[in-house]
Amino acid sequence: MANPVFLVAAERSGTTLLRLMLDGHPQISWPCEFDFAVDWPERTAGEWPDVAEFRKALADNRQAQQARIALDPALDFPDLVLSFYSQLRARTVKPIVGVTAHRHYDRLLRLWPAAQFIHLVRDGRDVARSHVEMGWAGNVWVAAPVWREAETSWRSLRAGLPQQRCLEVRYETLVRAPELELGRVCAFLGTSYAPEMLDYPSRSTYGPLDPRLTERWRRLLSRRDLALLERQIGDDLAAAGYPPAGVPPAWIPKPRQLALRLGDRVGRARFRAKRYGVALWLEHQLTRRLGSSAARRGVLERMRRIDIDHLK
């Protein structure tokens, strides 16, 4: 497969699980997340970002570091980004090489016009709940738009692509019937299902598939949370084929919206103080505002090591 294939989905949709499965296939390499390649500041339509600024931003990027990406100073912006995928392809003898992205799907298509896409969708209520569990949001009302924006971006991209270049995968089906769903993915990629794909627990910290991993929102979210989510993403859930929770949408006047945003900031701060310890968290706040670049990178590296221990 000469052209790249991208796995796209909102973060916390199960992309790491599917990536690990795909990477276990004898003919498929799925080495990393690729968001670093398309996370650049918005510019005038048709204009590429400043390549020097982009290289500088990548120096502190965890994904780029883990992917061991080399930055060729002789390349202009688009050729530099194109080289990232080329570097990943050059490291494997497997004929199929894909990567994962959680946003800016249109930029992927701009750089690789012939790319193929696998879209993984998970119930937005579970995605929002997982964002809160990860400390990325302080409540589900703030977390939910991340899922909605990813789904909106995907629908926009899919509308302009031939059907044979897109595949929809549902997380819940993948967990409940993995051989069947992985067989569909393999056929889309031009190969056949391999049992090694389900050996991922031996290659990662992930455990065997468990149907209880699906629809966890039914057990873990309160009626208040479900009402907030129904207001935020109820129509989007229906469009994606997910049934309503049977809870009326919450009424959220301006004062309550402000309270939810304040609660988000407080919730995230509490989470980080608990995960990193108060001393490291305060050090991060200080170096972000007053410290040198070296001091800031040192703090971020210590936080990154803690994150890796918790990442799953």
**Average pLDDT along the chain:** 92
Percent residues over pLDDT 70 in the chain: 97
User: Tens digits of per-residue pLDDT, 117-144?
Assistant: 999 999 999 999 999 999 999 999 999 9
Contact between 184 and 168 under an 8 Å Cβ cutoff? The reply is no
Give residue limits of the domains in the chain. Answer: 5-221
Q: 217: which 2 tokens?
A: 């929102």
> Residue 155 pLDDT more than 60?
yes
User: Tens digits of per-residue pLDDT, 202-217?
Assistant: 999 999 999 999 999 9
Percent residues over pLDDT 90 in the chain: 78
pTM: 0.91
Average pLDDT over residues 217-230: 97
Instruction: State how far Cα 234 lies from the chain centre.
Output: 21
Average pLDDT over residues 7-11: 97
Average pLDDT over residues 283-306: 77
Contact between 37 and 67 under an 8 Å Cβ cutoff? The reply is no
pLDDT at 293: 73
Looking at per-residue confidence, does 282 or 157 come out higher? Answer: 157
Q: Is 35 helix (H, G, I), strand (E, B) or coil?
A: helix
Contact between 22 and 30 under an 8 Å Cβ cutoff? The reply is yes
Q: How confident is the model at residue 1 (pLDDT cuts 50, 70, 90)?
A: very low
Name the CATH superfamily, with its identifier, for domain 5-221: P-loop containing nucleotide triphosphate hydrolases (3.40.50.300)
Q: How confident is the model at residue 297 (pLDDT cuts 50, 70, 90)?
A: confident
Which candidate, 161, 132, 169, places its Cα nearest to that of 266? 132
> Residue 312 pLDDT more than 70?
no
Residue 33 DSSP one-character state:
B
Contacts of 303 (CB under 8 A, 6+ apart): 276, 280, 284
pLDDT at 302: 83
Q: How confident is the model at residue 149 (pLDDT cuts 50, 70, 90)?
A: very high
> Residue 310 pLDDT more than 70?
no
User: Tens digits of per-residue pLDDT, 262-290?
Assistant: 999 999 989 888 888 888 878 888 887 77
CA distances to 114, 152, 218 from 26, rounded to whole Å, are 24, 34, 37
User: Tens digits of per-residue pLDDT, 33-79?
Assistant: 999 999 988 777 778 999 999 998 898 788 898 899 999 999 999 99
What 52-56 contacts at long range (C-beta under 8 Å, 24+ apart), as own/partner pairs, is: 54/80, 55/80
> Residue 234 pLDDT more than 70?
yes
User: Tens digits of per-residue pLDDT, 173-190?
Assistant: 999 999 999 999 999 999
Residue 290 DSSP one-character state:
T
> Residue 105 pLDDT more than 90?
yes
